[in-house]
């Protein structure tokens, strides 16, 4: 069973990398990019039937730092 | 006074930290991260700087799950002393022993230079050898030292006197110019600058000496 976890900085937490990407896009001539947020995608191959609760536990304990990051779980 | 210095794959300030403790009069034991228990008679645990586990996932995130770190958490819960420097500070925030998180520097650059620090609180064993408001010159060397806490938490840290140091000229975007914080019981210090890199004239400065000395004195007296 494949699971995809998206980890993003929480709204309100300044994302300096996203900001740098936004600037670079502007320099390339792409106008109108108002905001860029950069995050991570983590793909897991887990045993069939692994509960969403277990995946959440993985996110809380390791995959995301919930002080500054949010995560979203998607079973593929 | 017995100090233990944790060693993770990728730690690179462990020996410097050991020397700083030794110079201050401590007996130092190096402890590999796969050990499950700290030696029983340790007075303080040092979590050194470096790039534990290659900074994979997030700085300090993997080290925070190492077997020895579980024992470190128990040590701090029992009221034991600990100091985390640079990557060690990142490990302490990742375990939740200290609040907040360390993010990529606001200017995205790796910063490696001496910076000015202001001592904000001396009511703890780490900084009792300095005076409040004293300015120090201590090197930083980090890519992810941008200390992030909510405004609410920042206000709490201020009101509880838990801000150890602030930067005189914020190099990395840290909330409240914070360079180091103390735990609620005042026995754990986390800081991004490297006091162990300024304990000898040949380092170019000795502003870190008083920290190790006052720490050893405080623990011996206790």
**Interval B95-152: pLDDT, tens:** 999 999 999 999 999 999 999 999 999 999 999 999 999 999 999 999 999 999 999 9
Pick the catalytic residue: B13, B59, B94, B196?
Answer: B196
| Residue B13 among the catalytic residues | no
**Interval B61-74: pLDDT, tens:** 999 999 999 999 99
From the list B65, B148, B173, which residue is nearest A68 (CB)? Answer: B148
Looking at residue B218, its pLDDT comes to 87
| Residue B194 among the catalytic residues | yes
pTM of the model: 0.94
Mutate to test the interface with A, among B90, B111, B148 (most CBs of A within 10 A): B148
Looking at residue A61, its pLDDT comes to 95
| Residue B196 among the catalytic residues | yes
* B220 band by pLDDT with thresholds 50, 70 and 90: confident
Distance from CA of B96 to the nearest CA of A (A): 9
Nearest-Cα residue of chain B relative to residue A41: B57
**Interval B171-184: pLDDT, tens:** 999 999 999 999 99
Residue B222 pLDDT > 80, yes or no? no
Average pLDDT over residues B25-52: 96
Model ipTM value? 0.86
Average pLDDT over residues B157-184: 98
**Interval A15-72: pLDDT, tens:** 989 999 999 999 999 999 999 999 999 999 999 999 999 999 999 999 999 999 999 9
d(CA B144, CA B105): 5
For B107-113, the CB contacts below 8 A with 24+ separation are B107/A16, B107/B172, B107/B173, B108/A16, B108/A17, B108/A20, B109/B143, B110/B141, B110/B142, B110/B143, B111/B140, B111/B141, B111/B142, B111/B143, B111/B145, B111/B171, B111/B172, B112/B139, B112/B140, B112/B141, B113/B139, B113/B140, B113/B171
Distance from CA of B33 to the nearest CA of A (A): 18
Q: Evaluate whether B46 touches B4 at the Cβ level (below 8 Å).
A: yes
């Amino acid at each position: 069973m494949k699971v995809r976890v998206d980890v993003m900085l929480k709204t309100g937490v300044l994302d300096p990398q996203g900001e740098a990407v936004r600037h670079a896009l502007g320099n390339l001539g792409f106008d109108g990019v108002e905001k860029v947020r950069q995050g991570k995608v983590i793909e897991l191959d887990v045993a069939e039937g692994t509960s969403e609760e277990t995946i959440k536990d993985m996110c809380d304990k390791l995959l995301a730092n919930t002080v500054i990051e949010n995560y979203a779980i998607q079973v593929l | 006074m017995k100090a233990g210095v944790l060693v993770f794959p990728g730690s690179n300030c462990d020996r410097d930290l050991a020397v700083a403790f030794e110079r201050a009069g401590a007996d130092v034991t190096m402890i590999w991260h796969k050990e499950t228990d700290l030696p029983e008679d340790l007075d303080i645990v040092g979590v050194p700087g470096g790039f534990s586990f290659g900074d994979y996932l997030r700085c300090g995130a993997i080290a925070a799950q190492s077997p020895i770190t579980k024992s470190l958490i128990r040590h701090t819960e029992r009221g034991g002393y600990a100091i985390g420097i640079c990557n060690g500070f990142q490990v302490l925030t990742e375990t939740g022993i200290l609040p907040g998180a360390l993010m990529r520097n606001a200017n995205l650059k790796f910063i490696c230079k001496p910076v000015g620090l202001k001592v904000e609180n001396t009511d703890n064993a780490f900084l009792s050898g300095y005076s409040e408001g004293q300015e120090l010159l201590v090197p930083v060397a980090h890519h992810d030292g941008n200390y992030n806490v909510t405004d609410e938490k920042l206000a709490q840290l201020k009101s509880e006197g838990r801000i150890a140091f602030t930067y005189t000229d914020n190099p990395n975007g840290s909330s409240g110019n914070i360079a180091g914080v103390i735990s609620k019981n005042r026995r754990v210090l986390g800081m991004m600058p490297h006091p162990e890199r300024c304990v000898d004239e040949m380092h170019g400065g000795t502003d870190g000496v008083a920290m190790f000395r006052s720490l050893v004195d405080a623990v011996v007296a206790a």
